[in-house]
Structure 1
């Protein structure tokens, strides 16, 4: 349970950063990646446990196009680290992880043309 709370904190902190807009064009990712992003967003909304979150992010990594795969892998590695060491506060505040999740979120939002969330937030999965 504690790992789930820490993971939620990691995702919530990084999600806010993912709401920023970028003018850089993004090519349409594979449909499997877009579906994985949608499934991850739905899983986070349902507050699934950390094992399920890792499964969902692993699908995102497996379907990610090369230009975003490294950032998706960084996110997956961070989730696995939180599961392994849920009491480590450094895992929640890693700027490299924040940047990677921000990049994945922006890529999925723009490339998959995900709708904006209610409340004015960005439409990304994270």
Structure 2
């Protein structure tokens, strides 16, 4: 029996999910979460570096997504200093690092789609 079929629902963090795919998609789904995780795979980044790497995201959306990823223990946030301007650095947690194979698979598939069905253009 597949793990996702062991019961009617899966309960994670007091939320009920119909299958394990919905658990994963709640954690990393949406337009920006996986992209944020991808940009943190190799090194920690400051908020401004993430903002620069994601030119299409609004500051509000980036802040919300970072907060959700932190609440789900996929990323950690370190604040340096006590007076503004504060240095804030984001990095993957050990749990966040566990999604690296999935991010690499998405990257590989995206590269294939881009080369087969798309074209690289300058803005």
Settle same-fold status: TM greater than 0.5.
no
Q: Which has the higher strand share?
A: 2
Q: Which has the higher helix share?
A: 1
Q: Which has the larger radius of gyration?
A: 2
The TM-score with structure 2 as length reference comes to 0.33
The answer to which structure, 1 or 2, has the higher relative contact order (CA under 8 A, 6+ apart) is: 1
